[in-house]
Structure 1
Amino acid sequence: MYDTSARERALSLVAQGRSLNSVSKETGVSRAAIRSWRTRIEPLPRIRRTPCSLCGPTAEPPEDEAAYAYLLGLYLGDGCISPGKKSGYFLRIACADAWPGLVEACAAAVEAVNPSGKSSRVQAVGYTSVVAYSGHWPCLFPQHGPGRKHDRRIALAPWQQSIVDTCPWEFIRGLIHSDGCRITNWTTRLVGGVRKRYEYPRYFFTNKSDDIRKLFTDALERVGIEWTHCTRHGAPYNISVARGACVALMDAHVGPKY
């Protein structure tokens, strides 16, 4: 979960004479992890520890493609996979408590894709993590790997791309529900010498990963949605959809979080 720079920062705070407890509270890293980094700072490669009993050497696509496309969008935005204590893995999707409907939709997608059909919820400050355990998650999400997603290459496997091509709106909806929003912009115009206010809706998608933004815009183009880049501090992190017809189409298939 932590790249080398995060590990070096935690160890530098310890080297300043700080206690493990205070460094843990500031960085959010457990004391046990910080202790282990004193011996080995490089992240261990994340590889499957045992062969998948469901897939074998080749991943098998999930049966519910629509649920998977939606969950894939959520995972690329706010998801992570971490090893369990035995041979399985935990999938975690962070969902803001401001949108309880999102939590429900995420849990339904996880349960539809998880071979066990199960999920649980872990409450944190301001958000709920939808969590599910399976030995199958690295097969279903081969984008899993060390470090942050925007610091490494993210590409879809051929079978994933096929699902996204079949269910583009579900994929777009998952990405919007994770790292996107629907907002109302406004502007003013002079009409007959009187300044009037006009409001119009638009969609935004924000992600630091060039690869994930490209997956999003490719899906938009596949369904005929026009988009533009909006820079933030000089970086093209934001994708905007503002044309009236395109916003109406997004409303019909995606809609705001709820």
Structure 2
Amino acid sequence: MYDEKVRIEAREAMARGESLSAIGKRLGVSRSTLRDWRDNADREPRSSGCPRCTEQPMSAEYAHLLGWYLGDGCLSEHRRQVYALRIACDDKYPRLTDEVAAVIAAVHPTRPVHRTQAIGYTSVVSYWKHWPCLFPQQGSGPKHLRRIELAAWQQEIVAAQPELFVRGLFNSDGCRAANWATRSVGGVVKRYEYPRYQFSNESADIMGLCQEALTRLGVPWRMPRRNALSVARREGVARLDELVGPKA
């Protein structure tokens, strides 16, 4: 998983006469890989398709996938530095499983998207060496036990596509539900119901990202609990109905 900048730097160092051991230690590249680059300098490198390692544009759907990843996604390393991106999707909502698969395919269109059945949920999976380039938040342990911060380039994408980011967050860790309250009308207590959206997450950092995106969209929100965000005002619910809607 090396981008072209690393290859160029390594080849320039080899041209200056620097040893393979020194180059490998400085750049984190194996000696066998360096020898291959040296002995096959004229071979056209195969494009990784990674928009972070090349000049290729990032799909707008990345903001959508980032929301899903922060909610129900994870990265796991396999052999040869290949990573699996997994998004867990509740089997009660097959439409969302299809949506996640389509979003992953839009971000990384050159490889297949797999589905792995588990008890009560389906993991939508894609294998690629460059998933850590797109999700630098990856790390060991639950997200709420470590710092989650967006890189500057991710912040720009979320600022440009807050609608897709919010859709990913709410479709993973949110819901649209009916709430109720009572009101005294003419001395008679009446019960009435109203819809609201709720987003739940144990990570204060991810909750903050959701708050920022909603504020950017002009959607009013409040925090009834530390780990739960509520959107109940009529104009806020109407806006999220446009962007998210019920899961079923």
Task: Give the TM interval when normalised to the shorter protein.
Answer: 0.7 to 0.9
Structure 2 counterpart SS, 1:162: helix
What's the counterpart of residue 129 of structure 1? 123
Residues in 1 aligned to 2:54 and 2:145: alpha-carbon distance in whole angstroms:
25
Residues in 2 aligned to 1:106 and 1:222: alpha-carbon distance in whole angstroms:
24
* Candidates 196, 201, 205, aligned match of 1:211: 205
- In the alignment, structure 1 segments of 5+ residues that lack a partner are 1-47
Which deviations, in whole Å up to 9, do the C-alpha atoms of 1:151-202 show, x marking residues without a partner? 1111111111111111101000100011111111012223234332211011
1:182-193 matches, cutoff 5 A: 182-193=176-187
What is the one-letter code of the residue matched to 1:178? S
- In the alignment, structure 2 segments of 5+ residues that lack a partner are 1-27, 34-46
Residues in 1 aligned to 2:93 and 2:197: alpha-carbon distance in whole angstroms:
17
TM-score (norm 2): 0.77
**Residues 64 and 168 of structure 2 are in contact (CA less than 8 Å); yes or no, is this contact kept in structure 1?**
yes
Residues in 1 aligned to 2:212 and 2:56: alpha-carbon distance in whole angstroms:
21
1:1-258 matches, cutoff 5 A: 53-54=48-49, 63-65=58-60, 67-231=61-225, 236-258=226-248
Deviation at residue 49 of structure 1 after TM alignment: 8.7
CA-based RMSD? 2.3
Which deviations, in whole Å up to 9, do the C-alpha atoms of 1:112-166 show, x marking residues without a partner? 1125242010011110000010111000111011221111111111111111111
Question: Higher mean Cα deviation, 154-163 or 187-196?
Answer: 187-196
User: What is the count of residue pairs matched by the alignment?
Assistant: 206
User: What is the aligned-residue identity percentage?
Assistant: 53
Structure 2 counterpart SS, 1:86: helix
Residues in 1 aligned to 2:176 and 2:182: alpha-carbon distance in whole angstroms:
20
Structure 1 counterpart SS, 2:139: coil
**Residues 241 and 247 of structure 1 are in contact (CA less than 8 Å); yes or no, is this contact kept in structure 2?**
yes
Runs of 4+ in structure 1 deviating by more than 4 angstroms, as ranges, are 48-62
